[in-house]
Chain A
Amino acid sequence: MKIKSTLANYLFVLPAVVIFGVFYIYPFLKVFQLSLMEWDGILPTMQFVGMSNFKEIMQDKIWWNSMWQAGYITLIALTFQNCLALLLALACDREIKAGNFFRVIFFIPPILSEVVVGLIWQWILDGNYGILNTTLHNLGLSALVHNWLSDPKTALTCIAVVHSWKGFGWGFIILLAGLQTIPRQLYEAAKVDGAGSWHVFTKITLPLMVPVFSMVIILTILGSMQVFVLIVSMVGQGLVHHTDVPVLRILASMTGSSRFGYACAQGIIFGLVLIIVSFTQKKLSERIRQV
C-alpha cells in the first residue's frame, strides 16, 4: 500500500522530469561528450579527438574577438543602460503624478521581441532612408549623417545602444522595487539630522541597495553577453566579424562549417566565462557590503 502510494506520488512529477531529462539534462551531458569529438552532424560516425577542440579555441582569434565584442556590448549595457535605469528608478521613487504611467511605458521595450526591436531600429538607422539621417540632415547637421549599421566602426555601438534601449526597463523595475523596500523613516531621520540629498543618497540609499545592484549587474551581464537575435535582425550576416558575438560563432560552427564538436566546445568555454564573471561579481559585491 505504502509503495503504491509512493509510486502514485512519483507520477505527479514524472511528466516534468521526463521532459526535463530529455530536453535539458540530455543536451547538457551531450555537450560535454560532443565537445571531445570531430563530427559534421550528418555522418553516423564521430571521431574522438580529445581536447584538441579546446586547444584550437584558445588560438581562435575570431572567437576571442567575438568575446571582446560581447564584452563591449555588456560594458555599455552596464554603464549607460543601468545608470539610466537607476536615474529613472530614483525619479519614480517619490510622490510624483503619473508614476505608474511611466512605469508601464518603460517596460514596453523589454516585452517586445528582439526581432521586432532589431528590425524597427534597423529601419530608423538605415543609411539611405532612415529617419535618423533624414532628421540630422534637416537640422543642418549633415556632417553627422552616417551609415550607422554598415560602417564597422559604429555598428557595434549602435547595437549596444539599441540593446540598452530594449533592456533598461528590466533594471528600472528591479531597482524601483528595491528602492521601495527602504523604510521612509530612514530618509526622514536623516533629514532631521540635517543631511543633504547627496549625503542621503550615498550614506543610506547606496549601501542598502548593494544586493539589488548585484542582482541587476549579474542579469545585465548574462543577458548582454548572450545577445545575438538583435544582431541577426539589425545587420543580418552583413558585417561578418565586426558584429560577431559568441553565440553567433557557435551557430556558425554548427550550421556554417558543420563542426558540431567545435560548437559544443565553444559553448562550454563560453558557459565557463559567464559563470566565472558572475561569480567574481558576486564575491566583489559581498566584499563591498562588508566594508
Chain B
Amino acid sequence: MKDGLKYIFKKRAELIVIYVFLGVVALTCLFPLLWMFGSSLKTQATVFSDPSLIPARPEWRNYYLAWTKGEFGIYFLNSVFYTAIVVFGIIIVSSLAAYGFSRLKFPGNNFLFAMFLAAMMIPLPGSFVPLYVLVNNIRKVLLNTLSAVSPQLAHIMPAGFVQQSNGFILNQVFPRSAYVFCMINVGLSLSIYILKTFFDKMPKELEDAARIDGCSKLGIWRHVALPLAKPAIAVITIFNSLNVWNEYILAQLILSSKETMPLQRGLIVFQGMHVTDYPLLMAGMTMTAIPIIIIYLIFQKYIIKGITAGALVG
C-alpha cells in the first residue's frame, strides 16, 4: 500500500516536471512573436521604454504607415503574386511530370526521374552564382533584341509607347518571370517525388475505364489523376507556399528594384534605411509572419506530412 502511494507520487512528480519543461519551451517559442506584435503597436517614443507586452494604447496606425509609407503594401502584394504563380506552376509542371514518370513508358524514364531525386540529395551551395550570370545574360540578350526591334516598331506605333513598353518588359516582366522560373525549379524535385509516390499507389482501374471511354492521356491526367491526387497536391501546395513566401537569396540577386521585391527582401531593405524605426519594422514583420502562421494553423497536418516525406528522401 505504501509502495503504491509512493509510486503514484513519483509518477505525479514526473508528470509535473514534464509539463513545466514543455510549458517553458512553448513559452520561449511564443514570447518573441508576442513581443514582435506588441512592439508593432507602440510609438517611436514608447517602443524603447514601455516594457508591457501589449501596450495600453495600441497604435494601430503603424500598420497603415508600414503599408503605405514603409512600402510593405507593394512587398506584400508581390509576395502574394510570386507565391500564387510559383505554386500554380509547380502543381501543373510537377503533376504532369510525376504522372509521366509513374504511368507512361518512354526511354530514359527511370534515368530522368533519378536525376530529379539526385538533385534533392546533392548539396550545391553557390549555384546561385551561375544562376545570377544566366539571368543577367538573358537580360542582355533581351535588351539587345528590344533595342534592335524598337526602331522598326517606332514606325508603326508611337515612340513613347514603345519606350514605355520596353521599360516595362525589362524592369517588370523580365525580373519577375526569371524569379518565378527559378522558384518553380526549387520546388520541382520534392513535388515530383511526392506526387509520383502517390500516383504509384493509385489503382489503375479508373484510368483504364477512362481510356476505354476514349479519354486521351492528357484528359486522364486532367480528369482522373489530378482530382484523385488532391491530398498530395494539398501537401505540395502548402509546402511550396511556405517555401516561396520565405525565400530570400534569389530575390536579393534577381529582383533589384523595390517595385518587384517580395516581403523578405523588403524587410531587410527597410531595416537598412530606417535602422531605428522599430514599430514600423515590427508591423512589417507581423504582416509577413501572420499569413504563414494562419496557413500553418489550418493545415498543420499536411505541413508535417510534407516535412517527413522530404526528410525520408534524404
**Partner-binding segment picked from A53-61, A106-114, A200-208:** A106-114
Which parts of A59-117 form the interface with B (CB within 8 Å)? 84, 87-88, 91-92, 96, 102, 104-109, 111-117
- A17 and B112 in contact, given A12-B104, A27-B134 (Cβ under 8 angstroms): yes
Contact in complex: B29, A105 (CB < 8 Å): yes
Which parts of A202-239 form the interface with B (CB within 8 Å)? 215, 218-219, 222, 226, 228-229, 232-233, 236
**Partner-binding segment picked from B58-66, B159-167, B264-272:** B264-272
Contact in complex: A131, B304 (CB < 8 Å): no
Report which A residues bind B (CB closer than 8 A): 6, 8-10, 12-13, 15-17, 19-20, 22-28, 30-31, 34, 41, 84, 87-88, 91-92, 96, 102, 104-109, 111-117, 119-121, 123-124, 128-129, 131, 134, 165, 170, 173-174, 177, 215, 218-219, 222, 226, 228-229, 232-233, 236, 246-247, 250, 254, 260, 263-264, 266-268, 270-271, 274-275, 278
Contact in complex: A111, B129 (CB < 8 Å): no
Contact in complex: A31, B308 (CB < 8 Å): no
Contact in complex: A20, B288 (CB < 8 Å): no
Min C-beta distance of A132 to chain B, whole Å: 10
Contact in complex: B124, A267 (CB < 8 Å): yes
Contact in complex: B311, A219 (CB < 8 Å): yes
Which A-chain residue is minimally distant from B271 (CB atoms)? Answer: A119
Q: Which residues of A contact B184 (CB under 8 A)?
A: 19, 23
Contact in complex: B25, A88 (CB < 8 Å): yes
Q: B interface, by DSSP: helix, strand, loop or mixed?
A: helix
Contact in complex: B127, A106 (CB < 8 Å): no
Cβ contact of A26, chosen from B130, B188, B189, B312, cutoff 8 A: B130
Contact in complex: A264, B130 (CB < 8 Å): yes
Min C-beta distance of A260 to chain B, whole Å: 6
Contact in complex: A124, B32 (CB < 8 Å): yes
Q: Which residues of B contact A109 (CB under 8 A)?
A: 29
